[in-house]
C-alpha cells in the first residue's frame, strides 16, 4: 500500500462521514398492511422476524462506528489531547443521548409503523413538519449513499489504482486505471450492487449487514489485540501535498517518521493536553470546534435502529433496548481506544498519520478490509433507508401525485419503485465526482431531523395529552429541550451558513405542504398544545379584574339560516375587534322524542361556512322547545370563563323575503356551479353546506335572522330582547343586511353623491323619547364605541363618521354639544358633528301627547261600558301602561314617519350603515307588538341599520 492511502482514508473520514450515518430500511409491514390483498398474503408469507440484536443493535453500531473508529480516533486525541477528547465524547454523547431518550419515549407510546423518524415526526407534529423533515431525511440519505460510494471508490483506488499523475507504480496490486470516468464506472458498479441487495428485500439486507458487522467486530478485535501484541517500532509518515512549510522556506519541514512506543507513562503524559496545530492534509489550523465537529459525526446514527421499525417483531420493545445498548457500547469503545492510543502512540504519529491503526495492526490489510466493509454497509443502508422514506412519503400523499409512482410494491411488499427512484437519484449525484462540499449540509440535515424528534417529544409532553403514556419514562421535557439545543448548537458549529440554509429549506417545504393542504387523520399536536395553553390562560382570565378601558365586544349572533345572513355575518365580524365571536343557532325539538342529537351532523356545514367566509368565529348550536329558550341557553352557556358574549345581535323582525347568498360559487371550493339551476341542484353541487332551503313568499315566517323554520311571533321576539337586557347583555338589531356587500359598499362609484366617499352615521339620541335629549348616557356612548371600532377596521378606515345632534328651537343644546365635542376630543375619536333641526317632528309628538291627555280625562269620567265604546280602534291607541321608563311616552305613526324621513334626508349622501339608539322594551308585555311596530316605522327603508342598546359602560377617558 502506498503512502497515499492514509491521506485518502482521512479524506474519506473527514468529508464523507460528515454525512449522517446510514438509515436502515423502513419495514415492509406497513406496505402489506396498507396494500392490496395480494400484498397482505405476501406479508403472511414473509412476516417480520428481526430481533433486537439483528434489527436495532447491529444497524446502530455500524452507523455509529463506520470508518470513524478506524480513522478518527488518532485525529481527535492527537489535536485535543486525552482530557479534551474524553470531554468531547461526554458532550457529544450527552447531546445524542437526549435525542435517544426522545426516540425511546415516542417509540413506546403505541404501535410504531414503518417510517422511522419520519413516521414519529409526522404523526406527532402533523403533515407539514413531517413532510418537510421527511423529504430532507430522504435527500440526506440519497446524498449520504452517494458519498459513501464515492468514498469507497477513492479508498479502493488508493490501494489498487494506478497513480493518475503518472508516478511510478509501487505495488503489484495497483492495476486499476484511474480518472473521472473510471471512477464513475467503479461507483456505478458499487451502486448497482447496492441496488440488487435492496431490490431483493430487507431480509437479505439484514443478513448482509450481519456479515459486515462480524467483519467490523473482528477487525476491531484485532486492533485491541495489536496494542498489546505488536512491539514498539518506527512508522514512516505519509507525505503531504496539501501543506508543507519546508517547501517554501517558511519553517522547518515535517518529520518523516514517528514511533509506536507501546504502553509508556511518558507517552501518556505527552498526550494528555491539547496541541492544536496545522492539519497536514488541508493546511488549516485545527481548533476545539473543528475537531469536535469532525468527531461528532462519528457519534451520530442513533436513528438507525428506529428506522427498522417496520421490520421488527416488537418495535416498542426493541428500539429502546437496542438503541441504548448500541450507544453505551460505542461510548465504551471510543473511550477505550482513546486511552489506548494516548498511552502508546507519539503525538506526532497521531497528528501526521490518520490511518496509523493500519500500520500498528498485527496484519495491515485488516484495517483496510474494515474500512471497505463499513463504507459499503453505509452506502447500502443509506440507499435502502432512502427508498423506505420515499415510499412512506408517497403513501401519505403529502406531495400530491408527484410521488405516486413510488407507491408500487412487489408481491412480498418490497417497494421496488422507491428503490429504483432512490438509486436513480444516487446515480445522478455520483456524476459530481466529489461531494465534499455538501457533506456538512447532509450532516446538518440529519441533525435537524434529530432536533425535530426532540421537538415532537417535547410537544407531546407539554400538551399533556392523556394518550401520551410511553412505557419508557426516563425522560422529561428538560431532556427534550436539551436535545433540541444540542442539535442546534452542533448544526451551527459544523457550518453556520449550511445550518441557516437547511432551516430555510425546511421552512419552504413546510409552507409548500401547508399550501397543498393534505388531509390526514394523524391528529395535530398544535391542537393539543393550543388546548393546553388556552385552558391555562382562560383560568387566568379573571372577570373580577376586567377594566372598562380594555373592554371589547364579544358577540353572539343568532342566525336562522346562513343562506340569507352572509352579509350580516361578515359585517359583525368587522365590529368584534379581536373579541369573541359566536354564531348561534336554535333548532326546535325535544331530545326525548329523537333517536339522536340532530345538531351533531350540522357542525361540519357550519364550520365549513366559517372557513369559506374567512371569518374568525365559533359555532354554538342548541336544541330547545322554543327560540326564546334556545337563545337563553346560548346566552347562559356560550363561552368560558372571562370569554363570554356580552352583546347579542339579532336580525330584525320584518316581512322582507330572504335571499340565498350561498349560491355564489366563490363561497364554495367545489366545482363551479350553474346559478340558473334549481335549489336542489345547487345543493347537490355544493356539498360543503347542508342548510335548509329558505322560506318562500307564500310561507310567511316572521322571526328575523334566527330560528329554525318555525313561526316566531312578535311577542317572543321582543321577549328575547328583554331577556338579554335582564342578563345585562348589550343588544343589537340588524336590519336590511340581506343584500349587504362590504366590497360594493366600500367602493361606491365616483359619480354617486359624495363623490365616492363612505359614511357611517351615528344618531346617539333615543328617537322614541323626544322628551329626553341626552347624548352622553351609557347607551349613546355604546353606539359611539361600536361605530369607532368599525372605523378602526382596515377596510373601514377611509369611512367618515358622522354624528347627528337633533336640535330643537327654543331648547339649548349648546351645553350638550360642547360636552359631546369635548368628549370626542378626549376619546381621540374623529367624527363630523352635525346639528339637525327637528322641531316639526317634535311638534307632532307633543300634539299627540295633548290629544292623548284629553282622551284620558274624558275616559276617567265615563263608566266602564262607555269607556269601552270610546276606545279608539287603532292599534296604537291601546292602553299604554309602563310602556317606557318615563311611563308617559306616546308616539304616533306620523311622528315616527317624520323622524324616519329626517334620518333618510336625501340632501345628505347615503351612508354605508347607520347606528341608531334602541330603547328598552316596555315593561308591559302586552305592548311588545306596538314597540316592534314603532321600531319598524322608525327604520323603514333606511338601508343597513343597527339598532343598539348598551347596558354597561364601555368607554373611558382615563389613560
Structure-block grid coordinates of residue 686: 355544493
811 or 143: which carries more pLDDT confidence?
143
Choice among 287-291, 383-387, 844-848 with the minimum mean pLDDT: 844-848
Binned at pLDDT 50, 70 and 90, residue 512 comes out as confident
Structure-block grid coordinates of residue 936: 319598524
Q: Which helix (H) or strand (E) holds 624?
A: strand 618-624
What is residue 445's predicted lDDT score, i.e. its pLDDT?
81
Query: What percentage of the chain exceeds 70 in pLDDT?
Result: 77
Binned at pLDDT 50, 70 and 90, residue 500 comes out as very high
Note whether residue 459 is domain-resident: yes
Choice among 238-242, 350-354, 493-497 with the minimum mean pLDDT: 238-242
- CB-CB contact of 762 with 787 (8 Å): yes
Same domain, 730 and 806: no
Assign residue 627 the CATH number of its domain.
3.40.50.620
What lies within 8 Å, CB to CB, of 572 at 6+ separation is 555, 557, 581, 649, 734
Binned at pLDDT 50, 70 and 90, residue 218 comes out as very high
Average pLDDT over residues 168-189: 82
- CB-CB contact of 375 with 495 (8 Å): no
Choice among 24-33, 500-509, 549-558, 827-836 with the minimum mean pLDDT: 24-33
Q: What's the mean per-residue pLDDT of the chain? A: 78
Same domain, 327 and 210: yes
Q: Is residue 534 predicted with pLDDT exceeding 50?
A: yes
Same domain, 511 and 575: no
Q: How far is CA 31 from CA 124, 384, 580, in A?
A: 21, 15, 46
What is residue 756's predicted lDDT score, i.e. its pLDDT?
67
Note whether residue 730 is domain-resident: yes
Torsion angle defined by CA atoms of residues 530, 532, 537 and 538, in that order, rounded to the nearest 10 degrees: 100
74-119 pLDDT per residue, tens: 889 999 999 999 999 999 899 889 999 998 888 888 777 666 778 8
Choice among 376-380, 479-483, 851-855 with the minimum mean pLDDT: 851-855
Which of 721, 743, 765 delimits the end of a domain?
A: 743
What is residue 165's predicted lDDT score, i.e. its pLDDT?
60
Q: Is residue 296 predicted with pLDDT exceeding 60?
A: yes
Per DSSP, what are the bridge partners of residue 176?
161
What is residue 340's predicted lDDT score, i.e. its pLDDT?
94
Same domain, 569 and 712: yes
Which of 716, 743, 770 delimits the end of a domain?
A: 743
Same domain, 714 and 809: no
Q: What share of the chain is helix, strand, coil (3-state, %, to 5)?
A: 55, 10, 35
Average pLDDT over residues 445-468: 84
Same domain, 717 and 764: no
Q: Is residue 791 predicted with pLDDT exceeding 80?
A: yes
- Tell me whether strands 945-949 and 800-807 are parallel, antiparallel or unpaired: unpaired
In the DSSP assignment, the letter for residue 641 is T
Same domain, 734 and 794: no
Q: How far is CA 565 from CA 204, 572, 701, 739, 893, in A?
A: 65, 11, 16, 9, 30
What is residue 453's predicted lDDT score, i.e. its pLDDT?
86
Strand order in the sheet with 618-624: 618-624, 581-588, 555-558, 647-651, 730-735, 945-949, 913-917, 759-763, 800-807, 832-837
Indicate the number of domains in the chain.
Answer: 3
**Is the alpha carbon torsion for 225, 226, 231, 232 positive or negative?**
negative
What is residue 586's predicted lDDT score, i.e. its pLDDT?
92
Same domain, 462 and 580: no
Note whether residue 5 is domain-resident: no
User: CA 630, CA 619: separation in Å to the nearest integer?
Assistant: 14
150-164 pLDDT per residue, tens: 878 877 887 788 776
Q: What are phi and psi of 191, to 5 degrees?
A: -65, -35
Note whether residue 113 is domain-resident: yes
Note whether residue 676 is domain-resident: no
920-940 pLDDT per residue, tens: 999 988 899 999 999 999 999
Note whether residue 674 is domain-resident: no
User: CA 723, CA 633: separation in Å to the nearest integer?
Assistant: 11
Assign residue 810 the CATH number of its domain.
3.40.50
Same domain, 650 and 768: no
In the DSSP assignment, the letter for residue 756 is T
Structure-block grid coordinates of residue 48: 417480520
Task: Give 19: exposed, middle or buried? Use CB within 10 Å, 0-12, 13-18, 19+.
Answer: buried
427 or 437: which carries more pLDDT confidence?
427
Which of 718, 743, 768 delimits the end of a domain?
A: 743
Nearest to 22 by CA among 181, 143, 191, 203: 143
298-327 pLDDT per residue, tens: 677 788 777 777 777 788 888 899 999 999
What is residue 485's predicted lDDT score, i.e. its pLDDT?
93
| SS3 per-residue string spanning 719-743 | HHHHHHHHCCCEEEEEECCCCCCHH
User: CA 188, CA 183: separation in Å to the nearest integer?
Assistant: 9
- CB-CB contact of 274 with 287 (8 Å): no
**Is the alpha carbon torsion for 74, 76, 81, 85 positive or negative?**
negative
820-845 pLDDT per residue, tens: 677 777 777 888 888 887 777 777 76
What is residue 294's predicted lDDT score, i.e. its pLDDT?
78
Note whether residue 453 is domain-resident: yes
Q: Is residue 67 predicted with pLDDT exceeding 70?
A: no
Per DSSP, what are the bridge partners of residue 647?
555, 730
872 or 182: which carries more pLDDT confidence?
182
Q: Is residue 717 predicted with pLDDT exceeding 90?
A: yes
Same domain, 354 and 226: yes
Binned at pLDDT 50, 70 and 90, residue 707 comes out as very low
400-435 pLDDT per residue, tens: 777 888 888 887 777 888 999 999 999 988 887 665
User: CA 722, CA 727: separation in Å to the nearest integer?
Assistant: 9
Domain range for 564: 552-660+705-743
Same domain, 284 and 423: yes
811 or 697: which carries more pLDDT confidence?
811
Average pLDDT over residues 332-343: 94
575-626 pLDDT per residue, tens: 887 889 999 999 998 898 889 888 888 888 899 889 888 898 999 999 999 9
Q: Is residue 189 predicted with pLDDT exceeding 90?
A: yes
Count CA atoms closer than 13 A to 33's CA, side-chain side: 13
What is residue 447's predicted lDDT score, i.e. its pLDDT?
86
Note whether residue 581 is domain-resident: yes
Assign residue 73 the CATH number of its domain.
1.20.1740.10
Same domain, 456 and 352: yes
Amino acid at each position: 500500500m502506498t503512502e497515499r492511502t492514509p491521506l485518502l482514508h482521512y479524506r474519506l473520514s473527514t468529508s464523507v462521514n460528515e454525512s449522517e450515518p446510514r438509515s436502515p430500511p423502513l419495514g415492509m409491514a406497513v406496505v402489506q398492511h396498507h396494500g392490496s390483498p395480494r400484498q397482505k398474503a405476501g406479508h403472511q408469507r414473509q412476516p417480520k422476524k428481526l430481533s433486537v440484536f439483528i434489527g436495532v443493535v447491529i444497524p446502530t453500531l455500524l452507523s455509529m462506528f463506520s470508518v470513524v473508529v478506524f480513522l478518527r480516533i488518532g485525529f481527535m486525541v492527537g489535536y485535543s489531547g486525552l482530557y479534551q477528547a474524553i470531554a468531547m465524547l461526554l458532550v457529544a454523547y450527552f447531546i445524542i443521548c437526549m435525542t435517544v431518550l426522545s426516540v425511546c419515549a415516542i417509540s413506546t407510546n403505541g404501535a410504531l409503523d414503518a417510517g422511522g423518524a419520519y413516521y414519529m415526526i409526522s404523526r406527532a407534529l402533523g403533515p407539514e413538519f413531517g413532510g418537510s423533515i421527511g423529504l430532507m431525511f430522504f435527500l440526506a440519505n440519497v446524498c449520504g449513499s452517494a458519498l459513501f460510494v464515492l468514498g469507497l471508490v477513492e479508498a479502493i483506488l488508493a490501494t489498487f489504482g494506478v497513480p493518475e499523475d503518472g508516478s511510478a507504480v509501487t505495488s503489484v496490486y495497483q492495476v486499476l486505471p484511474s480518472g473521472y470516468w473510471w471512477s464513475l464506472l467503479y461507483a456505478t458498479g458499487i451502486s448497482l450492487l447496492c441496488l440488487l441487495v435492496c431490490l431483493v428485500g430487507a431480509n437479505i439486507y439484514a443478513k448482509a449487514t450481519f456479515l459486515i458487522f462480524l467483519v467490523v467486530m473482528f477487525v476491531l478485535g484485532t486492533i485491541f489485540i495489536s496494542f498489546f501484541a505488536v512491539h514498539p517500532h518506527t512508522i514512516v509518515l505519509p507525505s503531504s501535498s496539501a501543506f508543507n512549510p519546508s517547501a517554501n522556506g517558511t519553517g522547518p519541514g515535517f518529520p518523516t517518521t514517528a514511533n509506536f512506543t507501546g504502553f509508556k507513562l511518558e507517552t501518556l503524559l505527552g498526550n494528555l493536553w491539547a496541541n492544536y496545530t496545522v492539519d497536514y492534509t488541508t493546511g488549516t489550523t485545527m481548533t476545539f470546534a473543528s475537531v469536535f465537529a469532525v468527531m461528532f459525526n462519528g457519534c451520530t446514527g442513533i436513528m438507525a435502529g428506529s428506522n427498522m421499525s417496520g421490520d421488527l417483531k416488537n418495535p416498542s420493545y426493541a428500539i429502546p433496548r437496542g438503541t441504548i445498548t448500541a450507544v453505551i457500547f460505542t461510548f465504551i469503545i471510543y473511550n477505550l481506544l482513546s486511552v489506548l492510543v494516548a498511552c502508546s502512540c507519539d503525538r506526532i504519529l497521531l497528528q501526521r498519520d490518520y490511518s496509523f491503526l493500519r500500520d500498528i495492526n498485527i496484519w495491515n490489510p485488516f484495517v483496510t478490509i474494515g474500512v471497505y466493509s463499513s463504507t459499503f454497509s453505509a452506502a447500502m443502508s443509506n440507499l435502502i433507508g432512502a427508498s423506505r422514506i420515499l415510499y412512506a412519503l408517497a403513501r401519505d400523499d403529502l406531495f400530491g401525485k408527484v410521488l405516486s409512482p413510488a407507491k408500487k410494491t412487489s408481491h412480498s411488499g418490497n417497494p421496488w419503485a422507491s428503490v429504483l427512484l432512490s438509486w436513480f437519484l444516487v446515480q445522478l449525484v455520483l456524476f459530481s465526482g466529489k461531494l465534499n462540499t455538501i457533506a456538512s449540509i447532509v450532516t446538518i440535515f440529519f441533525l435537524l431531523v434529530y432536533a425535530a424528534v426532540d421537538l415532537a417529544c417535547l410537544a407531546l409532553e407539554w400538551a399533556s395529552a392523556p394518550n401520551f403514556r410511553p412505557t419508557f419514562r426516563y425522560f422529561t421535557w428538560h431532556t427534550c429541550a436539551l436535545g433540541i439545543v444540542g442539535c442546534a448548537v452542533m448544526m451551527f458549529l459544523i457550518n453556520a451558513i449550511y445550518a441557516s440554509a437547511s432551516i430555510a429549506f425546511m421552512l419552504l417545504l413546510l409552507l409548500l405542504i401547508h399550501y397543498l393542504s393534505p388531509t390526514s387523520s394523524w391528529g395535530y399536536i398544535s391542537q393539543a398544545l393550543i388546548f393546553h395553553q388556552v385552558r391555562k390562560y382562560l383560568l387566568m382570565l379573571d372577570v373580577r379584574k376586567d377594566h372598562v378601558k380594555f373592554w371589547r365586544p364579544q358577540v353572539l349572533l343568532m342566525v336562522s339560516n346562513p343562506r340569507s345572513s352572509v352579509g350580516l355575518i361578515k359585517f359583525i365580524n368587522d365590529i368584534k375587534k379581536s373579541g369573541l365571536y359566536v354564531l348561534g343557532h336554535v333548532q326546535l325539538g325535544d331530545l326525548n322524542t329523537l333517536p339522536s342529537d340532530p345538531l351533531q351532523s350540522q357542525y361540519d356545514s357550519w364550520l365549513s361556512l366559517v372557513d369559506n367566509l374567512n371569518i374568525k368565529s365559533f359555532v354554538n348550536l342548541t336544541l330547545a322547545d322554543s327560540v326564546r329558550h334556545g337563545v337563553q341557553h346560548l346566552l347562559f352557556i356560550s363561552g368560558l370563563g372571562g370569554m363570554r358574549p356580552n352583546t347579542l345581535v339579532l336580525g330584525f323582525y320584518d316581512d322582507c323575503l330572504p335571499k340565498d347568498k350561498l349560491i355564489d360559487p366563490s363561497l364554495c371550493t367545489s366545482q363551479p356551479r350553474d346559478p340558473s339551476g334549481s335549489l336542489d341542484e345547487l345543493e347537490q353541487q355544493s356539498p360543503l353546506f347542508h342548510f335548509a332551503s329558505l322560506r318562500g313568499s307564500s310561507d310567511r315566517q316572521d322571526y328575523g335572522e334566527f330560528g329554525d323554520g318555525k313561526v316566531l311571533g312578535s311577542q317572543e321576539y321582543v321577549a328575547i330582547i328583554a331577556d338579554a337586557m335582564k342578563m345585562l347583555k348589550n343588544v343589537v338589531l340588524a336590519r336590511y343586511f340581506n343584500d349587504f356587500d362590504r366590497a360594493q359598499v366600500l367602493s361606491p362609484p365616483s359619480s354617486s353623491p359624495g363623490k365616492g366617499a363612505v359614511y357611517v352615521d351615528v344618531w346617539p339620541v333615543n328617537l322614541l323619547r323626544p322628551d329626553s335629549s341626552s347624548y352622553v348616557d351609557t347607551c349613546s356612548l355604546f353606539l359611539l364605541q361600536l361605530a369607532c371600532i368599525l372605523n378602526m377596521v382596515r377596510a373601514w378606515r377611509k369611512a367618515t363618521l358622522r354624528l347627528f345632534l337633533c336640535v330643537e328651537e327654543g331648547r339649548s343644546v349648546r351645553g350638550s354639544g360642547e360636552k359631546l365635542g369635548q368628549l370626542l376630543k378626549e376619546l381621540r375619536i374623529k367624527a363630523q358633528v352635525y346639528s339637525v333641526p327637528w322641531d316639526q317632528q317634535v311638534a307632532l309628538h307633543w300634539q299627540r301627547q295633548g290629544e292623548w291627555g284629553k282622551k284620558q280625562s274624558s275616559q276617567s269620567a265615563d263608566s266602564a261600558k262607555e269607556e269601552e265604546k270610546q276606545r279608539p280602534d287603532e292599534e296604537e291607541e291601546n292602553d299604554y301602561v309602563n310602556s317606557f321608563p318615563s311611563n308617559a311616552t306616546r308616539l304616533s305613526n306620523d311622528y315616527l314617519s317624520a323622524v324616519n324621513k329626517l334620518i333618510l334626508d336625501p340632501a345628505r349622501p347615503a351612508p354605508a350603515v347607520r347606528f341608531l339608539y334602541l330603547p328598552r322594551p316596555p315593561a308591559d308585555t302586552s305592548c311588545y307588538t306596538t314597540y316592534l311596530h314603532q321600531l319598524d316605522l322608525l327604520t323603514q327603508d333606511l338601508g343597513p341599520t343597527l339598532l343598539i342598546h348598551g347596558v354597561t359602560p364601555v368607554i373611558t377617558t382615563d389613560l
